[in-house]
Amino acid sequence: MKPTMGNVVFSVIWLLILIFIAFWVAGIAAGIYIIVLPFTVCVEPLTGLTDFLLSVVQFPKYCAQAMMEGKGFN
């Protein structure tokens, strides 16, 4: 399978999102995730919140994948 080159403009946009938004949002979410996670043992409804925070922490990975593939915003 031949690798395809995505749209360079979208790659640059994803890089900017990664640097200026994703790292910061993921860092804040990681701090909240670390604080809330131990309480999920006692308070079961917090599991939904920690699952959401984990997906936010993984946002930089999504941005990096989209940047490498040159994906659009669809």
pLDDT, one tens digit per residue, over 20-72 is: 999 999 999 999 999 999 999 999 999 999 999 999 999 999 999 999 988 88
Residue for token digits 């999504």? Answer: 62
Give the C-alpha separation, 42 to 13, whole Å.
42
Per-domain residue ranges of the chain: 17-69
pLDDT for res 7: 85
Residue for token digits 């999102």? Answer: 17
